[in-house]
Homo-oligomer: A and B are copies of this chain.
Amino acid sequence: MYRTHNCGEIRLSDADKTVTLSGWVQRSRKMGGMTFVDIRDRYGFTQLVFNNETNAELFDIANKMGREYVIQITGRVAERSNKNANIATGEIEIIVEKLQILNEAQTPPFTIEDNTDGGDEIRMKYRYLDLRRNNVRSNMMLRHQIAFETRRYLDQLGFLEVETPILIGSTPEGARDFVVPSRMNPGEFYALPQSPQLFKQLLMVSGFDRYFQIAKCFRDEDLRADRQPEFTQIDCEMSFVEQEDILQTFEGMIKHLFRFVKNIDFNDNFPRITWHDAMKYYGSDKPDIRFDMRLVELKETVTGNNFVIFDSAAYVGGICASGCGTYTRKQIDELTDFVKRPQVGANGLVYIRCEMDGTFKSSVDKYYSNSKLKSIAELFNAKLGDLILILAGDKIKTQKALCELRLEVGEGLCLRDKNVYKPLWVVDFPLFEWDEETRRYYATHHPFTSPNLVDIPLLDTNPGLVRATAYDMVINGVELGGGSIRIHDSNLQKRMFELLGFTPEKAQAQFGFLMSAFQYGAPPHGGLAFGLDRLVSLFAGLDSIRDCIAFPKNNSGRDIMIDAPSKIDQMQLDELNLVVKINESNIK
């Protein structure tokens, strides 16, 4: 071992001990005949002292060491005269007696500090140096801890972690599958799993009863800001359970993680909201409930006052921003610009100020009397000094725009504190989504999701109203995970396929394999999956999942550090029976 202690553990109680440390030179300061060097490792910093008077030779070497040199020192622990309460080793320093430079270092392209001077691009190129920074490494440590505690919780409950294969088969609709040519099976391809869904359901058929896996999944899709081509899921499935069992089990898991990783106790049950109410009150299936500010529907109240925009809109709704009655014209204009952004998509914004004198001022007060405005304000339980913001238009689009506006206003009011965590189950998702374009139903979740058994009669009469036994866990407006109870009754499954427009042949081609397995005795089962990357981001208070992945890829799916993907040898292509032929239409 190149050390007796690490750089974060020596305390005043170790005074006078002779210790050996190894690590990186963080910084050095020459003050007259003394040089102070901070040595760093994963565990912390320790101050080293080199003294020209007592050891001129070491002093000279020490002064030549650059940042990030790797050194090993032996010395005596001494009490500092100038203590630093900010670091754990701040009461001591090491009077160095021996020094060995284990490795020199070039000057890094950016500073290895929490607040580095390096931009995104260069930090990604030199990710191995970026990972030296404490705040980046601490995200990886948090990730380790979350994964470990997840396993500890699930192991205690009898869940078995089973590794399912990475080289699987491509499915007929696996449009976003990554594929892997097989050398041994010319012209054939494996696919990388988008999720272990098929295998975890098979494991239930196998009687594994409780399965989980922290599993790598892959999706070859155009990457939005917060997606990665490979991502990690906490994938779980249970047999002989109903929805309530799953919610209890995994609410327990999230509570366990908060307790053991963040030291936060949730004593109450997590609130639950139906998908229908989530849309109605928050305009979103993943509401951020750190603050209230619910959407209020106004269509009935505002119609019939000759304001054509409201009269002609399918939906009119608003939110009440508490205490924002003092917003200036400019602030309201900014909110108007915000809702008009293409990502939000509203046409305009109507406001009602609840003045401190009990009167109302509004952008539409030529249509609405003060008493009418008052009755609107009452729907919001608005108080003096509040500001009501109203949008109108198509129902779903406007609800979503109101959701964005609500988050924006909440942000402005500092109601979205990253250190406050508000978990929520969203339940009763619709089983089907109607697609206007193709004029057919699609499965909201996937075709194996069980309908709420109470709603089965509606399958014949009004499929759009059938609720699924599907559920999402949402924290602070982030969908952390979700799942469903699966159909285990083959007649019900057939009915589902019919409703989804699958011919028996197509159902067979696409899902036949799982259907066959089910004929040998499938238990009732259900499960869910959490996104580990999102969970870590949430716990770390990060804006992007990229920051909690050791070696992430950029928006083009490239690892710029190792420069992958890249061209491969012709010989290798020949062995794989492949010819590269760039389709011009693929070049964007």
Contact = CB atoms under 8 A, between A and B. Distances in A.
A22 B520 contact: no
Interface in A160-195: 160-170, 172, 175, 177-192
Contacts of A165: 230, 551, 553, 559
Contact of A582 (B187, B198, B524): B187
A137 B207 CA distance: 9
Interface string A28-44: 00000000000011110
Contacts of A488: 102-103
A141 B141 CA distance: 28
Contact of A189 (B24, B562, B568): B568
A230 B128 contact: no
B186 A587 contact: yes
A207 B42 CA distance: 6
For the residues of A in contact with B, the DSSP-based class is loop
Contacts of A308: none
A103 B523 contact: yes
Interface residues of A, number: 128
Interface string A547-588: 001110100111101111111110010111111111100110
A245 B513 CA distance: 50
Nearest to A217: B166
Contacts of A3: 240
Contacts of A144: 155, 160-162
B572 A1 contact: no
Contacts of A102: 488, 523-524
Contacts of A183: 220, 586
A500 interface: no
A6 B577 CA distance: 52
Nearest to A520: B105
Contact of A128 (B129, B137, B202, B587): B202
Interface of A: 1-3, 6, 22-24, 40-43, 68-70, 72, 102-106, 108, 126-129, 131-132, 137, 140-141, 143-144, 147-148, 151, 155, 160-170, 172, 175, 177-192, 198-199, 202-203, 205-209, 216, 218, 220, 222-223, 229-230, 232, 239-242, 245, 488-489, 513, 517-524, 549-551, 553, 556-559, 561-569, 572, 574-583, 586-587
Given A170-B568, A182-B557, A185-B556, 7 more contacts: A22-B523, A42-B209, A106-B520, A144-B160, A166-B216, A170-B564, A178-B190
